[in-house]
Amino acid sequence: MLQGKFVVLGVTGSIAAYKAAELVRLLKKAGAEVHVVMTSSAREFVTPLTFQVLSGNPVVTDMFEKPVRWEVEHVSLADRADLFLIAPATANIIAKMAAGIADDMLTSSVLATRAKVLVVPAMNVNMYLNPITQENLSYLKEKGFYVMEPDEGPLACGYSGKGRFPEPEKILKFIEKLVGVSRDLNNKKILITAGPTREPIDPVRFISNRSSGKMGYALAEAAVERGGEVILISGPTSLQPPPGLYKYIRINTALEMREKVLEYYGWCDVVIKAAAVSDFRPKNYVEHKIKKGDSASMFLELEKNPDILRELGERKQKQFLVGFAAETDEIEENAVEKLRKKNLDLIVVNDVTAEGAGFDVDTNIVKIYYKNGSAEEIPKMTKKELAHVILDRVVNLLKN
Ligand code: C5P
């Protein structure tokens, strides 16, 4: 997620400084180039060598030491940064930044940067809640700094409350959102279907299903963020289309969806069929509202809708095909069978009976099955996060 990003990490004198070492490791793993600047009090807690080894770069500690590279170091780091992180940030550094003080390498660099600055405070609860610290933080936010709220819990000083340094994984997630995801779908043409279809019985009634469209819309939004040219073909939903779509097409029935999908099939590199297409439609549409009459039952004859995805699989040329399946039983067998029958590259399967998965919720728990026979369980996460995970997999497989 942070491939090629230049991150400057300022470490200050908090007991949580040792946790910043783990943060460096995670940043590197996510692809970032990391340069660490330490205040002199941070060096009382952790040695620069730790950060040097983990970041793979010399650690900047003092303005008046001989610079490792012969540049005006604080300005060069400040200029190159895509993100400037102060983690952990003490009350002292927060106050200094708010006052515009530049009396060491770190404060000078922060003052000189035009990059986004993220402050992650960690301190004693009373210091954190002190109105001066709170006002300083508000002032920094007003000036465009980003501040991550500390966690609540037991503190190193023996107190308990707000002031804990968040887990490095949590900070990384915050950073990834802040820096923005990579544009690895640049120039890729992606067709996404979302929502249910509606199969009319008469002018006022229809057959449909419980799909909200949230997963498909999250995928469309994520694909746009990553630079894709996205066509979203959607059944009836209450959702707003995400900004930046190449085309937004609303349909009602499976037949209408089929027509639109086929129209654009030749255009696309990737098709993601997140729509819950009705398998059947009423065989005879009745032009007037059907009266209930005296009979205790009624007969509604249904005929099968075309399986759009299967048709795409049969006509597949260069396209990468992603299917979705909502299952309630024999999940694995059904998934593998659909993957094969529809000639898919991968299928995202959710057990709609699981809590936090399926219809109309903001989270999902899925398993991804791949054409090569492998499978991957994805833990519960928001549909937007899952959208990015699915796109990560697509991007990786497109490279091969
Ligand atoms: O066979 P099943 O409906 O479970 O398969 C689900 C996948 O197939 C989804 O990706 C869905 O969008 C697609 N599908 C389709 N046309 C249908 C039924 C399902 O494209 N008539």
CATH of the domain at 360: 3.40.50.10300
Ligand 1 in reach of 273 Cβ (< 6 A): yes
**Does one domain contain both 48 and 108?**
yes
**Does one domain contain both 35 and 172?**
yes
Q: What is the pLDDT of residue 66?
A: 57
**Does one domain contain both 218 and 237?**
yes
Q: Which of 157, 300, 354, 361 is catalytic?
A: 157
Ligand 1 atom at minimum distance from 347 CA: 10
Q: Give the CATH number of the domain where residue 115 resides.
A: 3.40.50.1950
Q: How many Cβ atoms from other residues are within 10 Å of residue 339's Cβ? A: 23
Nearest CA to ligand 1 atom 21: 307
Cα 326 to middle of ligand 1, angstroms = 9
- Does residue 290 lie in a domain region? no
- Does residue 42 lie in a domain region? yes
- Does residue 1 lie in a domain region? no
Q: Give 341's contacts (C-beta < 8 A, 6+ positions apart).
A: 310, 313
Q: Give 78's contacts (C-beta < 8 A, 6+ positions apart).
A: 8, 84, 109, 110, 112, 113, 114, 115
pLDDT tens-place values along the chain, 400 residues long: 787 889 999 999 999 999 999 999 999 998 899 999 999 999 999 999 999 999 999 999 876 665 555 455 667 888 899 899 999 999 999 999 999 999 999 999 999 998 889 999 999 999 999 999 999 999 998 888 989 999 999 888 888 899 999 999 999 988 987 887 667 898 899 999 999 999 999 999 999 999 999 999 999 999 988 889 999 999 999 999 987 899 999 999 999 999 999 999 999 999 999 999 999 999 999 999 999 999 999 999 999 999 999 999 999 999 999 999 988 888 899 999 999 999 999 999 988 877 777 777 788 889 999 999 999 999 888 898 899 999 999 999 998 7
Domain end call among 180, 201, 227: 180
**Does one domain contain both 80 and 171?**
yes
204 phi/psi in degrees, rounded to 5: -120, -5
Nearest CA to ligand 1 atom 9: 324
Ligand 1 in reach of 213 Cβ (< 6 A): no
Q: How far apart are CA 368 and CA 69, in angstroms?
A: 47
- Does residue 193 lie in a domain region? yes
Nearest CA to ligand 1 atom 13: 309
Q: How many Cβ atoms from other residues are within 10 Å of residue 52's Cβ? A: 14
Cα 343 to middle of ligand 1, angstroms = 12
Q: What is the DSSP string of 119-173?
A: EEE---HHHHHSHHHHHHHHHHHHTT-EEPPPEEEE-TTS-EEEEEPPPHHHHHH
Q: How far apart are CA 306 and CA 281, in angstroms?
A: 10
Enclosing domain of residue 360: 189-283+303-399
Q: How far apart are CA 118 and CA 36, in angstroms?
A: 14
**Does one domain contain both 315 and 357?**
yes
Cα 7 to middle of ligand 1, angstroms = 43
Substitution site in 273, 305, 312 for ligand 1 pocket (most atoms within 8 Å of beta carbon)? 273
**Does one domain contain both 323 and 395?**
yes
Ligand 1 atom at minimum distance from 254 CA: 21
Cα 315 to middle of ligand 1, angstroms = 16
Annotation says 157 is catalytic: yes
**Does one domain contain both 19 and 88?**
yes
Q: How far apart are CA 322 and CA 316, in angstroms?
A: 12
**Does one domain contain both 252 and 361?**
yes
Domain end call among 180, 200, 226: 180
CA dihedral for 262, 264, 269, 275, sign (positive or negative): negative
With vertex at residue 214, the alpha carbon angle to CA 211 and CA 219, rounded to the nearest 5 degrees, is 125
Ligand 1 in reach of 118 Cβ (< 6 A): no
Nearest CA to ligand 1 atom 4: 325
- Does residue 289 lie in a domain region? no
Ligand 1 in reach of 308 Cβ (< 6 A): yes
Q: What is the pLDDT of residue 64?
A: 61
* Coil/strand/helix, residue 285: coil
* Coil/strand/helix, residue 192: strand
Domain end call among 152, 180, 208: 180
Ligand 1 in reach of 331 Cβ (< 6 A): no
**Does one domain contain both 170 and 221?**
no
**Does one domain contain both 143 and 193?**
no
Nearest CA to ligand 1 atom 17: 307
Give the chain's domain count.
Answer: 2
Q: What is the pLDDT of residue 70?
A: 42
Ligand 1 atom at minimum distance from 312 CA: 20
Residue 327 structure tokens: 């299952």
* Coil/strand/helix, residue 209: coil
- Does residue 293 lie in a domain region? no
Residue 384 structure tokens: 């937007």
Is the pTM higher than 0.95? Answer: no
- Half-sphere exposure for 40 (CA within 13 Å, toward CB): 6
**Does one domain contain both 212 and 78?**
no
Q: What is the pLDDT of residue 15?
A: 93
Q: What is the pLDDT of residue 289?
A: 96
- Find the distance separating the first CA and the last CA of the chain, reported in whole Å: 19
- Half-sphere exposure for 62 (CA within 13 Å, toward CB): 6
Residue 130 structure tokens: 């002190």
**Does one domain contain both 176 and 200?**
no
- Does residue 294 lie in a domain region? no
- Does residue 330 lie in a domain region? yes
